[in-house]
Structure 1
Amino acid sequence: MPASQTPQANFSLLLPVYAGDNAEYLRLAFESSVDQQTLKPAEAVIVQDGPVPEALAAELERIEAESPIPVRLIRLSENRGLTEALNAGLDACTYPVVARMDADDVSSPERFARQWEMIEQGYDLVGTGMQEFEQDPASPSAIRVPPVGPERIRDHARTHNPFNHPTMMYRLAALDRVGRYQPFGKMEDYWLGVQLIADGARVENIAEPLLSYRVGSGAFVRRGGWAEARTEWKLQRELLRMGFVTRAQYARNVLMKGAYRLMPAGVKRVLFRGFIGRGLPGDR
């Protein structure tokens, strides 16, 4: 079937871009999430979070001009961070369902078709598994397999983020009920997921890796340090306050997850892939 005749569904693609993104990676991300999808979004909302380099600005203009679906380019005058950029994008979305995408990842062709099928069954949030890669999406280094089933997702959420944020597809009405994205360091997605679960939203994951996630050399450095540890402890206090975890679970999480945030990057990489993701053969 020609690309122009590929079926579309009534959902928006939400893709934030900032100065640190790469123009070539953005092109791959957009093409994989629009041109190559077996089920296309009805529109793309791209949020330019502050000024960007010339090459990236040119790529945004090319996408806007050549996209096979309508593109709404929201330009923020200054860099406001991911939380505000995503909320600005949600405000601009025309459709009641939104699919997330980052500017340096690659979606599998059947990703949206698989997620949309579950949205049509009544789910409010559907995530998927994802595979990590450094240079070539066809050569993944690890697979992150999310928990599947409402009970397993809720149990997992007491200790770890149960959703891979770049893979999310969700109903705007469900996000509106919990206040959409809220400032929470680099854990705004974890906090959003917990709030949705606590609010009674129907959530599910597809175990298969339907997105390839680009991992840079500094990924595990960014997951650590005192700032990240303090955010982790703040999150745990909120989980305790709302009754999402018991006092015993809170104490365990503060100790273990705080220690994890303060570990050297190399140690975190091994632990993360051993307990959060599933390493591929030869990855360990």
Structure 2
Amino acid sequence: MFSVLISVYRKDDPVYFSEALGSLVRQLQYIREVVMVKDGPIGAELEAVIASYRDALPIREVPLPQNVGLARALNAGLAHCRSEWVFRFDADDLCLPGRAALQWAAISCGALDIVGGQIQECDPATLAVTGVRKVPCQPADIRRFLRRRNPFNHMTVCYRKSFIERIGGYPDIPLKEDYALWAKAVAAGARVANMPDVVVRARAGRDMVTRRGGIGYAKSEIALQWFLRKNGIKSTLASLADGLARAMVFVAPVSLRHIVFRRYLRQSA
């Protein structure tokens, strides 16, 4: 059975968080525990949501005294997971009903360390589907894709705990911690796959692209590219070229970022 690993922090929306936990209830047959990392004090509304699900879900809380960021929060939660297979999920998305069953079937062969799936992106309020983020399914295609873009949808992934702990967990590269983890895992010989199935509906409104910009994102992109080079995923020249080009997009006007996102990074619904 899975250990579900979730990080929640004070800026998460209580309504979305409640709906996310509700989508896990339909997966209970495959869930041993829900390891809930509180990344610093989260406030009364989010605490109330957790309390409202204590009878419905096997929640184990991991409170952190202060906000430490997603990578460190997930590493802290990973240490508390009691199952060998960890099922990642975000605090505002929706698992589709068959997600856990599909992933359990995928890992039952024993030949994988990381397996993810596809996502539908939707309007945060109405849940109307606005796009799809498709990632490659076959190992060779995933490794090729890794050189250019993130080859997994983080909120769909389940992974073998012992493998992720052996390579040191999530690198502390803010905003890019999952991409860096996959790079490190592939460099260490991880057996990887993505299912062709859509398994999560992710909230991703127009303001998502607006938020994904600024100096912080640009710095993280450059740090990620250097990390890819360090792990043998890309050459020094490719890392420098891609890091500078993408950093420029992150500091570009919002209208330009929307064009890049729409034309090159997503398929329409």
Structure 2 counterpart of 1:210, from 191, 199, 224:
199
Question: How far apart are residue 267 of structure 1 and its match?
Answer: 2.4
* AA matched with 2:83: Y
Aligned-pair distance for 1:141?
A: 0.5
Structure-to-structure mapping, 1:23-34, within 5 angstroms: 23-33=14-24
How far apart, CA to CA, are the structure 1 residues paired with 2:185 and 2:176?
Answer: 14
1:123 to 99, 112, 115: 112
Aligned in 2, Cα 1:18/1:256: closer, same or farther, shift over 3 Å?
same
Can you list the C-alpha shifts for 1:192-239, whole angstroms capped at 9, x where unaligned?
A: 011111111011112332101112443213322122112211221222
Q: Is the 8 A contact 1:17 1:48 kept in 2?
A: yes
| CA distance in structure 2 between the aligned counterparts of 1:208 and 1:105, rounded to whole angstroms | 16
1:51-90 alignment, distance < 5 Å: 51-64=41-54, 66-67=55-56, 69-90=57-78
Return the alpha-carbon distance in structure 1 between the equivalents of residues 239 and 63 of structure 2. 40
Is the contact between residue 142 and residue 273 of structure 1 (CA under 8 Å) also seen in structure 2? no
- Distance verdict in 2 for CA 1:255–1:111, change over 3 Å: same
Closer, same or farther in 2 for the Cα pair 1:19/1:167, shift >3 Å? Answer: same
Provide the secondary structure at the position in 2 that maps to 1:224.
coil
| Aligned match for 1:270, one of 244, 253, 259 | 259
Counterpart in 2 of 1:154? 143
Give the corresponding residue for 2:121: 132
With 243-252 and 45-54 compared, the bigger mean Cα shift is at 243-252
SS, match of residue 152 in structure 2: coil
Unpaired stretches in structure 1, ≥5 consecutive residues:
1-9
Q: Which runs of 4+ in 1 moved over 3 A?
A: none
TM-score when scaled to structure 1?
A: 0.88
How much has 1:44 moved relative to structure 2?
0.9
Q: Does the Cα contact within 8 Å between 1:38 and 1:110 map onto a contact in 2?
A: no
Please state how far the C-alpha of 1:149 moved relative to its aligned partner: 0.7
Aligned residues: 267
The structural deviation recorded for 1:97 is 0.6
Indicate conservation of the 8 Å contact 2:112/2:191, yes or no: yes
Q: Which residue of 2 aligns with 1:180?
A: 169
TM-score (norm 2): 0.93
Q: Which residue of 2 aligns with 1:18?
A: 9
> CA RMSD of the aligned region, Å?
1.7
Query: Tell me, what secondary structure is at the counterpart of 2:83?
Result: coil
